[in-house]
């Protein structure tokens, strides 16, 4: 049922194992060759975009791979294999190209050094962030706005609170936003929440939080506060709409009308 997720996980493990066997120097050369930086994108954009999704800069794949599998498996169960691939690629490719355009403009304007064009950037985080964003469509309507605000506020705080500009953290915000936008195009199956899928959601959320936010001290407070504000605002709008609707459909007042 989750063939795409399983196949992708196996390929990630194979690539990681081969790089470990080849040694640190070979790993460095491979990462440098497939990084989605401006230099590699200008040389061969398609090959760079595809290869970078299968190479990670972290040797401890056994630590985070189970969480990634849970997130992707949930996405595949909800949106099927095709939907999962679309969501992952929208985040991986879309966020990469948007960040690349921003970096190129910043270098031309003199806001960033030219050396950033050769920075290393590989891995699965952009695609995973987009898949996490698409889960918005599966969240109950009442909690949906709070869900979006929580994730975007946390990711944005991490991206803006760093001492120096981190384009990867900014890319997480972009990929997450792309996933949220894409979620408006996804349709849910009839019975989409089962005990298994709730377990996958919990594990996937834990993975997403660690990958996008990490151990930032201020992020949880900001995210929860933003989510709470969103809930209060939604409740206020709902009450106002209900009162307005009740007034518009109220029966006419016949007091004082003479009946014969």
260 pLDDT above the threshold of 50: no
pLDDT tens digit string along 67-124? Answer: 999 999 999 999 999 999 999 999 999 999 999 999 999 999 998 889 888 888 888 9
84 three-class SS: helix
Q: Does the structure show a pLDDT above 80 at 231?
A: no
User: Percentage of residues in the chain with pLDDT exceeding 70?
Assistant: 85
Burial state string for 93-110 with b = 16 or more CB within 10 A and e = fewer than 16:
bbbbebbbebbbeebeee
Specify the pTM. Answer: 0.86
Sorted by sequence, the CB contacts under 8 Å of residue 9 that are 6+ apart come out as 65, 68, 69, 72
| N-term to C-term CA, the chain | 73
């Amino acid at each position: 049922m989750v063939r795409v997720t399983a196949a992708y996980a196996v390929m990630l493990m194979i690539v990681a194992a081969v790089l470990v066997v080849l040694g640190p120097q070979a790993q460095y050369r491979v990462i440098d060759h497939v990084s989605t930086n401006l230099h590699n994108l200008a040389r061969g954009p398609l090959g760079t975009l595809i290869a970078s999704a299968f190479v990670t800069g972290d040797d401890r794949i056994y630590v985070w791979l189970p969480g990634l599998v849970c997130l992707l498996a949930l996405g595949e169960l909800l949106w099927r294999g095709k939907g999962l691939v679309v969501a992952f690629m929208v985040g991986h490719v879309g966020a990469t190209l948007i960040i690349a355009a921003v970096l190129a403009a910043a270098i031309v304007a003199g806001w960033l050094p030219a050396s950033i064009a050769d920075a290393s950037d590989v891995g699965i985080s952009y695609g995973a962030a987009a898949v996490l964003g698409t889960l918005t469509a599966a969240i109950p309507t009442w909690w949906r706005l709070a869900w979006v605000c929580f994730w975007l506020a946390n990711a944005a705080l991490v991206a803006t609170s760093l001492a120096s500009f981190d384009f990867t953290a900014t890319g997480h915000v972009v990929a997450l936003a792309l996933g949220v936008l894409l979620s408006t195009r996804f349709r849910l199956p009839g019975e989409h929440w089962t005990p298994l899928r709730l377990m996958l959601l919990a594990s996937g959320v834990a993975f997403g939080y660690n990958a996008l936010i990490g151990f930032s001290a201020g992020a949880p407070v900001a995210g929860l506060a933003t989510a709470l504000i969103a809930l209060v605002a939604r409740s206020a709008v709902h009450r106002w709409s209900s009162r307005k609707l009740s007034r518009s459909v109220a029966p006419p007042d016949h007091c004082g009308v003479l009946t014969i």
